[in-house]
Amino acid sequence: MYQERVLSGMRPTGSLHLGHYHGVLKNWVRLQHDYPCLFFVADWHALTTHYDDPQGIEKATWDMVIDWLAAGVDPEQATLFIQSQVPEHAELHLLLSMMTPLGWLERVPTYKDQQEKLESKDLSTYGFLGYPLLQSADILIYRADKVPVGEDQVPHIEFSREIARRFNHLYGREPNFEEKVQAAIKSLGSKRARSYEHFRTRFQQDGDATAIAKAHALMDEVEGLSHEDRERLCGHLEGTGKMILVEPGALLTEASKMPGLDGHKMSKSYNNTITLREDEASVTQKIKRMPTDTNRVRRTDPGDPSRCPVWQLHEVYSDDTTKEWVQAGCRSAGIGCIECKQPVIDGILKEQAPMRERAQRYLDQPALVREIIADGNEKARCLARATMTDVRQAMGLNYR
């Protein structure tokens, strides 16, 4: 059966925090059960903004992989790898750069935004302009159907779709396309082959769009239909030629509502984070030092949870009974703030306990992490090579 492929990447920018856990990693862990997933460290992307100080990238990479594993990303289910260890990404990036209009890159909204935001850095570089194109290569090289990302990345996914479309338009007619299509139709079996032809006629002659969905459903049933043949059949169905590169879709991750220690969104740049594997004493300290409702000066002053960042953490970590206890106790000055913070501390420590435990194994045996990544790199390269063979062939670069 054809299974949609999921791919996502993260730049190695230092320890992950609970905002990453609630916003991204929990989602990855969920997805890995339902789809073949590829998750990678975008270390080249880190260089686009840290080219002047690349020394920290290696450590950040390994720390981040441990954070993923700690969060429950399972190397038995998902493929974990490092971008720079699959040099095919760079080759595809280069080939795509030949047909990418400069204006498309200049118009990506993150380009100007980030340049303005990070104005202390000189980001008028070739690499930084090409950021979304490198990201497109990351995605297209695996023919990923779904890319889980946050809202800020949606323009990049859109961009990848446009690049795939342009590529297919320019190079999509592989030599022997017709022959290969006929062989692929034959491999459906005679009964399905007849239905496929029927749906194709219905779409192309009668413009019946439902026929496309039906043909896709029919292909889904076929055991062992290769990615490549499926693409040929899709191309033939819609009369577009072979789709060498697959247009990905964004799988929008709901924006993390994880509040930080000051009530603003948890983020490294606000300096209000708790890291994924922060030690217990430090977590306890940080929560104890959190500001509370500023109107509650004395223990006897009643407070208002809606004016208190601690309450926001109760919303993430506490059950209804505890939340009612907070609401009533705060408003009546029945409880003190120290008391109120304890269930939050307990909640965070409880969430972190299994993460710390999983991480410890990898900290004790770093070779395990290296093996997981070596294995993932190999699997990823295998997929990437297959796409590159088609890409080179489509562009007339398969010299023998």
Residues near ligand SF4 (CB under 6 A) = 292-293, 296, 303, 305, 308, 310-311, 326, 330, 335, 337, 340-341
What is the H or E stretch that residue 342 is in? helix 337-364
Site for ligand TRP in 17-76 (CB under 6 A): 42, 45
Angle at 251 between CA 249 and CA 256, to 5 degrees: 150
Residue 273: what are its φ and ψ, rounded to 5°? -105, 160
How many residues of this chain interact with ligand TRP, rule: CB under 6 A? Answer: 13
**Distant-in-sequence, close-in-space partners of 98: CB < 8 Å, separation ≥ 6:** none
Q: How far apart are CA 273 and CA 258, in angstroms?
A: 10
Find the part of the chain contacting ligand TRP (CB under 6 A) among 2-10, 73-81, 222-230, 233-241. Answer: 2-10
Closest CA to 193 of 165, 222, 166, 171: 222
Count CB neighbours of 347 within 10 A: 18
Is 24 or 345 the residue whose CB approaches ligand TRP more closely? 24
Q: Could you tell which of ligand SF4, ligand TRP, none binds residue 163, using a CB distance below 5 to 8 A set by kind? A: none
Is 46 or 330 the residue whose CB approaches ligand SF4 more closely? 330
Q: Could you tell which of ligand SF4, ligand TRP, none binds residue 296, using a CB distance below 5 to 8 A set by kind? A: ligand SF4
Candidate list 5, 6, 9, 274; residue touching ligand TRP; CB under 6 A = 9
Task: Compute the residue count for the chain.
Answer: 400
DSSP string for 127-151: HHHTHHHHHHHHHHTTT-SEEEE-G
End-to-end CA distance of the chain: 34
Site for ligand TRP in 112-151 (CB under 6 A): 135, 138-139, 147, 149
Q: Could you tell which of ligand SF4, ligand TRP, none binds residue 308, using a CB distance below 5 to 8 A set by kind? A: ligand SF4
Q: CB 349 → ligand SF4: shortest distance, Å?
A: 18
Query: What sections of 221-276 are H helices per DSSP?
Result: 227-238
Q: Could you tell which of ligand TRP, ligand SF4, none binds residue 149, using a CB distance below 5 to 8 A set by kind? A: ligand TRP
Q: Could you tell which of ligand TRP, ligand SF4, none binds residue 330, using a CB distance below 5 to 8 A set by kind? A: ligand SF4
Site for ligand TRP in 71-110 (CB under 6 A): none
Q: CB 7 → ligand TRP: shortest distance, Å?
A: 6
Residue tagged 């590159």 (tokens): 388
Q: Could you tell which of ligand SF4, ligand TRP, none binds residue 135, using a CB distance below 5 to 8 A set by kind? A: ligand TRP
Q: How far apart are CA 329 and CA 352, in angstroms?
A: 27
**Distant-in-sequence, close-in-space partners of 246: CB < 8 Å, separation ≥ 6:** 140, 143, 144, 145, 164, 231
Closest CA to 47 of 109, 141, 106, 125: 125
Q: CB 237 → ligand TRP: shortest distance, Å?
A: 28
Q: CB 24 → ligand TRP: shortest distance, Å?
A: 9
Q: Could you tell which of ligand TRP, ligand SF4, none binds residue 335, using a CB distance below 5 to 8 A set by kind? A: ligand SF4
Closest CA to 16 of 256, 251, 375: 256
The sign of the torsion formed by the CA atoms of 12, 13, 17, 22 equals negative
Q: Is 228 in the site for ligand TRP (CB under 6 A)?
A: no
Q: Could you tell which of ligand TRP, ligand SF4, none binds residue 326, using a CB distance below 5 to 8 A set by kind? A: ligand SF4
Is 135 or 272 the residue whose CB approaches ligand TRP more closely? 135
Q: Could you tell which of ligand SF4, ligand TRP, none binds residue 303, using a CB distance below 5 to 8 A set by kind? A: ligand SF4
Give residues in contact with ligand TRP (CB under 6 A): 7-11, 42, 45, 135, 138-139, 147, 149, 153
